[in-house]
Each structure stands twice: as C-alpha cells, then as structure tokens.
Structure 1
Amino acid sequence: MTFQVSREEGLYYRQTLFNNARRVILKVGSAVLTDENGLVPEIIGHIARQISFLQSTGREVILVSSGAVAAGRRRLGVIKTPHEELKVKQALAATGQGLLMQAYEQAFADFRQPVAQILLTHADLSHRERYLNVRNTIHALFDFGVVPIINENDTVSVEELRFSDNDTLGALITNMIGADMYIILTDVDCLYTGHPLKDATARPVYTVAAINEEIERMAGHSTSLLGTGGMMAKIQAAKMVAACGGSSFIGPGRHPQILQALFSGELIGTFFLPGNGRVNRRKHWIAYVLKPQGFLVIDDGARRALVDLGRSLLPSGIVEVRGGFAVGAPVHCLDRDGTVVAAGLSNYAAADIEQIKGKKTGEIAGILGCKDSDEVIHRDNLVIMNRKEQPGSILI
C-alpha cells in the first residue's frame, strides 16, 4: 500500500536532490520531439537552451534522444503500418538520425555548446570491455565540456541487440556513469492515481519514495500518444535508477522552461526518490544490462539463503534448469511462482547443473568427474532483484 507525505516534505526532498545533482541524464521521447510534420525545431531549441543553461552552472549533462525514425518517416513520406518490416524501420532510422543530429547541432550552436553523437546497441553494453569503453568516452567528452547525445543504433539493431526502449537505455547510462538524476521528458504531465479522463477522483502524484506494485498499477492509467516505452517502461526505468542510488523525474517535455522549473523547486511532474540500498556498478551491469541466457528455478530454502542471508546459490537449492547456456553465462533465478529473485553469472553450464541440481556440494566431483566451484552462482556475482515490497509514500 502507499501512504502520503506532506507537501513540504516532498518539496524539501525535490529541492535538496536537484540542488545537489551535478551529473544529469535527460531523456526526450519522440512524442515530445515530433508531430505530424516531423521534428519540431521549437522544441529542440527549448531543449538546447535549457541543457546549455545546466552546463553553465557546472553540471554535466547527457541527452538521450529518440526521434530518428519519426524524422526519417517524414523525410521519406513513409506511412506507418501495423506490421512494418524491420528493414523499413532501419532505413527510416538511417535517414532520420542525420536529420536529428543536424537539428541538435544547429540548436546548440546558438549557445556555443558543442555536442557529440553516440549510437549504441545492447551488445555495446553487454560486452564488459566495450561497456567500459563507452563509459570512458563519455567521461572524456565531459572533460571537453561536450554534451553527449545518445540514441539506440536502430539502423543495425535486431531483436537480440535492442534495448526495450530509450527509457531503459537512459536508465542504463544513468547507472553506468553514476549520474545523480535521470529526467524523462514525455507527453504525459505526470503519474496519476487513476485515469484522468475516466476517473473524477484521479489525482496527480508528485513524489514517490519507493516503487511498489500499487505504484506500478498507477502507470497503466497514464498513456503516451507516441513512442515505444509507455508509462510502465518509465516507471521501471526509475526503479532501476533508484536501485543504484539515483533519483528520477517524469514530466511534460513541451513545457518551454521545464528544466528551470524543476531546478527552481516548482512542484511539477512526478519525482522518484533514491532507493535505500545501492548496487555497485559491476552488479548493476550483471542485473540490468546483461540479458539472461537461461533460468534456474530455486526452492524456498535457497530463496531465503539468497535474499535474507546474502549467501551464494548452491546446487542443493535448484529444482529446475531452463535453457541451454555455457559457463559464465548470465542467468536469472526464479522462485516456484516464476518471480525473478536474483540475477547472476553461472559457474557451471546448463547441462552440468541439470546433473547436480538438488545435490550436496560434496557430490559434485563424483557426478561430473571434477568440481570447479562449490557454488553454482557465487554471491560476488549475484544480485537480488526482488526484495520484500516496501510501501511507496506519495505526495498528491
């Protein structure tokens, strides 16, 4: 359940976190940047002006921007169809990405603010060395006073290389570089307690301390007209950022002074406070960047050992192996209800775990002919994903 906090508490938390935010990620969706005529220069100009203002205050800013496909669609006159082929979307992205960067380059030039383009696929972040290279490049751009503009490389991305949406990409970048704040600008004013067009009692939610199931259900009441993520994707992105100690904001991207309004303490949009815990960067990479190649179903005793006692996963607690994977592969641990309990790197291949599941560690060598490790997943390579639900405090 949720409980309400006072207006004064919500404003205090907001103002304190905005004042202390030195590194900020700003994600802008297609629904903000485009209309039926393609890119909207006025909106892009507003964004460039506000980011340049934040840069001038000594903050470091990254812009995660959608809009390439929409810009390409307008330039080529391609009408969107329900079952559009991947190669068409890739061609639209290839056409529109240049237009998008040209628009940003021109807009930022008015403020003498240099920008740089970074295009990423999921493979760029799931490979550890490439992940670190991306982070190092961003830090170098910061040193030069450049605003990185990041987008998914839709031209080459296929399903297994895709991020689910740019909301998720922005959250991954936020956690990767240890940013203080993740700002998501969309065409929805904020999170509501109910559907504002159907429920007369629906109220805006201004501050969320912890994202629980009730908060997630509220996401179904707020819908975006464009874009791929939707409000639920934005809530999940905020949840990822909170897990690593950052705060998030979701609010109206077409407000011409939105960033100034936020950093001056105006009560607008929905603000998500940082979580109590803090996942280190390597464990964040394991939990949120890597896609699972298989699943291990564990019993109640193993679940308690992982979640409550902080222990490693032993073969005795495994009841089922799903999927084929090699040694070192990322896997998710599920309880008997199918809930994801933890993510980790497996010390054994799926075929070997199938043979040793439910067995004691002392039996591993006799079954497999050797024993590489006592643990199927060592706690140093394991991240708890779903702890006991906390109440989410809200300011309405």
Structure 2
Amino acid sequence: MRQSTLGGAKRIVIKIGSSVLRDGSDFDRVTFASIVRGIAYLRAQGVECIVVCSGAVALGFPELGLLDRPKRIERLQASAAVGQGRLIRFWTDELNHYELTAAQVLLTHDDLKNRKRFLAARHTLRALLELGAIPIINENDTVAIEEIKMGDNDLLSSQVVSLTGASALVILSDVDGFYVDNPDNAGIRVADYISEITEDLMSKAGESSTGLGSGGMRTKLEAVRQVNELGIVAIIGRGKVPTVLERIFAGDNLGTWFDSGGIKRSRRKHWIAYAHKVEGRLIVDEGACSAITDKGRSLLPIGITHVEGDFDVGAAVDICTHDGNSFARGLVAYDSETLRGIKGQRTDEHRGISRVEVIHRDDLALLSSISAEVDGVK
C-alpha cells in the first residue's frame, strides 16, 4: 500500500526537525547530505519537493556564544536571525551539487491567516515549483513570538500541504515513528500503521526530549491529523536513517504510516479550521449545535447563549456546547460587543444589523472528533 500510494505522488512536503540536523553540538553534514540526495532522487523521478526545515535557532545560538538553547524570546529571535543565514547557505551549497536551486521562504501564522497573503504565498510557491526550485520554508522566528514558544513548524508543515496541494507529508524526526509504549521502556514497539488519530494516541504522545527544538510528538500528531482531514497520507520516521527518503518512497517499512481514512475537507475549510489563532468562544444551545452539525446551517444570534473574549469582525472563534466542547470554528460577521447585544434574539428583533448570520456556513468548519484505532505494530 505504501509504494502504490506514494508512487503516484507528484508533490510532497518534507518536514525536517532540528534534532535531525544536529550531531552533538555540530551540524550533521552526513545526514543532511543524505536527505538532500534523497530530494534530488525524488526530483529526478518527477516529484516536486517542498521542504519545511527547522534548525535556525539551533544553528544560531552557538554562534552567539550561548551554551544552550535560550529561553528568553529576544534571544531566541537573535539566534534565529543568525542561524537562518547559515541554514539556507547549507541548503544552497548542497543542492547545487545536483544542479538544483534553493528558494528561502519565511512565513508566520499571521501570513497564513490573512486570506490575501495566504493566496499570495500559494502563487509564489507554485511559481517556484514551476521554475524547478526547491522551496525551503521556515517560520520567520525573528518576528513570530508565539510560533517560537509553541514549536509550530510541525503545524506549519500541515498548512504548507494545504497551501501547495501536496499529496503526502513526510515528517523526519529523531524517533522511529509513533511508539506504542514509552520509548524509554525495553521492548519498545513502533506502530506500522495508524488508521486515525485517537484521544488515546494523543495522551501517549510526548514532548520534545532533545532541547534543540520546541515541538514534540503531540504536535506532530496534530499536524498529521490536520493533513489527514484533507485526504492526505503522512509518515513520521527517523531522519538519520541512511537514504530515508528513497526507502520510504520505495515502500520500505520505515516509520509510522498515517492513513487519511477517506476523509476529505476542502482546503478553504481547512484554512478556516487551522490557519487562525482562536480569539474567542461562542456558547450555543442544543438547537444551534444540531443545525450546524447535522444540517450544515449558518449560526444565527438566537442560538447563542454566551459570548467569551474580545474580538473584531472577521476573527476566528470556537463554537462550543454548554459543557465546553468545541465542535466548530468560524469567522464572525460581528465583533464581540455587538454579539453580546444581539445574542439570543430572533431575526425580527434585530435593528440596525446588516446581515442575519453571525457565522455564515461558508465561513464555518466542523472540528473533527478524535476517535479511532491503531493497527499493525512492529
């Protein structure tokens, strides 16, 4: 199944973690050369490759005389500024051996949540691919404060899949895949195949253990879940395995394969669900919940019982049941102050209101429930 699915892929996103490119305190040139060789191999097979590469902070802080990855935001930003130059230079030099061109693209979630900038980034990336370049994408950590703290390059990779229309996501990390048991335990098993991300899986996921990056397995699982909702498969595997990309695309039993399960969310709905920082919550009654989830209706003022947070028109908010369960996310047509004045009202009670819907169904995305099973351990 692996070979048949990946064999037909014409565009893939490869996410490379910080720890993959480090050998103790040094840059791991052997692993890096192996990964670039794999990218060159895939390009020769007609596969377009987009790289999301962490490591700017890890490359930068030793150059500034720091012994450990800094915790203060301004020092993280300074380390990223120094390290990003080194990182793209490594990519440029190594890809040149295969007559390939590296193209540096720095993004933040602010870029992605703005629809015009999101589409502009899509057009730029498509142009780069048409011209034969290899986009090397990283978060613009010198300005992206929240992203540095959250380790969002894993989540950024899921947005890049949506942005570029890729058909597979490969996450190269410092683990063999998803461990069924604690990786420190003897006799550890790695899941070969996972049909869907479950609550139990998320609870077993750990945080980053190397101290070089900021994203752990939980963040990776969230990224995988997001691309699975687009109908896209994903693989998590160890990046330091020699010829890892060639072996994965040959169908070798490396890493953990995450199936999409036949789910297919539109890219715009995916953008609504995941490209935004949630700025508030709307608590709704059972009737509104049923209308949205069962009938695909818009959210009207009469169904809202509580408004939480302060937000402007166009902000992303979660729609929640009374027990706090977030079941949908959408872009509001009114600010929080206006909503507090019209919540619970019928349409004929509105005065001076230009439109009926608080969130139109076209601007609303359901959030997936996390429930399924793991198959095939190795």
TM-score by length of 1: 0.90
Segment of structure 1 superposing worse, 159-168 or 262-271: 159-168
The residue number in structure 2 matching 1:75 is: 63
User: Which one-letter code corresponds to 2:258 in the other structure?
Assistant: F
Q: How far 1:84 sits from its partner (Å)?
A: 2.8
Contact 1:28–1:66 under 8 Å retained in 2: yes
Aligned residues of 2:285 and 2:304 also touching (Cα < 8 A)? yes
Q: By how many angstroms is 1:35 displaced?
A: 3.0
1:315 and 2:301 matched: yes
Secondary structure at the aligned position of 2:203 is classed as: helix
Match of 2:38 among 44, 50, 64: 50
CA separation of 1:258 and 1:224: change in aligned 2, threshold 3 A: farther
The residue aligned with 1:325 is 311
Residue identity in the other structure for 2:174 = D
CA distance in 1, matches of 2:148, 2:120: 18
Shift of 1:354: 1.0
Between the aligned partners of 1:359 and 1:181, the Cα distance in structure 2 is 46
In structure 2, distance between residues paired with 1:103 and 1:294:
42
- Per-residue CA deviation, residues 231-254 of structure 1 (Å, 9 max, x unaligned), is 000000000001111111101000
Amino acid at match of 1:332: D
Q: How does 1:107-146 map to 2 (within 5 A)?
A: 107-146=94-133
> What is the alpha-carbon distance in structure 1 between the residues aligned to residue 107 and residue 88 of structure 2?
15
Is structure 2 residue 248 aligned with structure 1 residue 266? no
Identity of aligned residues (%): 40
- For 1:87, the equivalent position in structure 2 comes to 74
Instruction: Report SS of the residue matched to 1:395.
Output: strand
Q: Partners in 2 of 1:84 and 1:223 — Cα distance?
A: 15
Q: Which amino acid aligns with 1:272?
A: F
Q: Which ranges of structure 2 fall in alignment gaps of 5 or more residues?
A: none
The residue aligned with 1:6 is: none
**Which residue does the alignment assign to 1:188?**
175
1:327-346 aligned at under 5 Å gives the runs 327-346=313-332
Aligned length: 376
CA distance in 2, matches of 1:164, 1:377: 30
- Cα separation, 2, equivalents of 1:244 and 1:197: 33
- Contact 2:332–2:358 (8 Å) recurs in 1: yes
Other-structure match for 2:375: 394
**Contact 1:287–1:344 at 8 Å: present in 2 too?**
yes
Going from structure 1 to structure 2, the CA distance change for 1:32 and 1:164 (only over 3 Å counts) comes to closer
Match of 1:279 among 249, 252, 265: 265
- The alignment's TM-score, normalised by the length of structure 2, stands at 0.94
Cα deviation for residue 78 of structure 1 reads: 0.7
SS of the aligned residue for 1:271 comes to: strand
- Stretches of structure 1 that go unaligned for 5 or more consecutive residues are 1-11
Tell me the amino acid that sits aligned with residue 357 of structure 2.
E
Task: Give the root-mean-square deviation of aligned CA atoms.
Answer: 1.9
1:28–1:65 CA contact under 8 A, matched in 2: yes
Between 136-145 and 315-324, the greater mean CA deviation after superposition? 315-324
State the SS of the aligned residue for 1:206: strand
**Does 1:205 find its partner at 2:186?**
no
* Match for residue 37 of structure 1 among 8, 15, 25: 25
Distance 1:223 1:123, change over 3 A: closer
